[in-house]
Amino acid sequence: MKATRILHDLGQSLWLDNITRNLLNTGVLRRYIDELSVTGLTSNPTIFDHAIKNSRDYDDAIKRKLAEGKSGEKLFFELALDDLRQAADLFRPVYDRTCGVDGWVSLEVSPLLAHDTKSTIAEAKELHAQAGRPNLFIKIPGTPEGLPAIEEAIFAGVPINVTLLFSEDQYLAAANAFMRGIERRIKAGLRPDVASVASIFISRWDVAVTGKVPKALNDQLGIAVAKRTYKAYLGLLSSPRWMRAYNAGARPQRLLWASTGTKDPEASDVLYVKSLAAPFTVNTMPEGTLKALADHGELGATLPADGGDADEELARFADAKIDVGALSRQLQDEGAKSFVKSWNELMGVIGSKSEALKRAS
């Protein structure tokens, strides 16, 4: 049995961190669903940037939308939603079979709105309505400015993938924003079963400390942070506050491991998949990591509910002069700036493609 199937049967959802029109049109995504136990996917501006820039798969659609007077962000979101609707339909049987727990795809709001709560909420509502699919998450960053938007979007009934979380503290802040939205729905007499995931980024921790810690600590920080966050996650799920919400019909916000492709060439190419196996979580992985897991991956023990040796591991990083709290804030800030950079590059690609296609027509 493939390791992908074993991991799925352990209770962890395997999502693909990629989408291209080619994946859809060639049947590759369908094959990943059937053969590699993939039950969802995530997207981001960088993924779409590469897909549009490095192929001609979108050219005809861009021409049509240009003829309709579309351009810039509006044109991009229509291209993205065309892909994500197709993907959502492929995952719809999973969504129906799991009663909405699994089978999701994700689309990100413009990162240019990261410091504009009101506009983020408006765009989240608009994109979800435009998608017309129940199994589509809108991604909102869990930055301090994003937290009110997360609460308001959940209160409005929009399923949210909270992205750009790096630490236990950032996760707890996002989870509380989610729960405030749910509690407001309960108080207002609205259905509280609005779905959400909270995405913790892993590999960027280890990239950030490479060369700054003893070699024995390489590729250990992201996993230690994940263990501590997993303990906090289980604590919330079993807390009286969350249980009261379940009793009113709410569903839990699931924890998602993101940025799980190995960056260290000396480490296992399935390091973060093997280390982060845990029931009732999601691992969204790059295509190469998914294939490696299916080909030669081996799984060990699942994450310990009590966090295992996370505190001891983090103490070793403190001894190495790594301020984990400060680094988590730095990583989130850098991540937000990176999203803006990717978005601007994507808009540049849309613009240059549009101009080239206009000249060629």
Distance CA 283, CA 50 (A): 22
Buried b (16+ CB within 10 A) or exposed e, 239-250: eeebeebeeeeb
The catalytically annotated residue of 65, 139, 227, 353 is 139
139 is catalytic: yes
**Residue 160: closest CA among 179, 183, 187:** 179
**Residue 131: closest CA among 80, 81, 73:** 81
Distance CA 217, CA 274 (A): 18
Count CB-CB contacts under 10 A for residue 281: 22
Strand positions, DSSP E, 142-280: 160-165, 196-201, 254-258
Buried b (16+ CB within 10 A) or exposed e, 74-103: ebbbbbbbebbbbbbebbeebbeeeebbbb
Residue 342, CA distances (Å) to 40, 111, 113, 336, 351 in order:
23, 9, 14, 10, 14
Q: In what order do the strands lie in the sheet with 196-201?
A: 38-41, 12-16, 281-285, 254-258, 196-201, 160-165, 136-141, 105-108
Half-sphere exposure of 98 (CA within 13 A, CB side): 19
**Residue 195: closest CA among 238, 133, 148:** 133
Contact 202, 276 (CB under 8 A): yes
Q: Which residues are catalytic?
A: 139
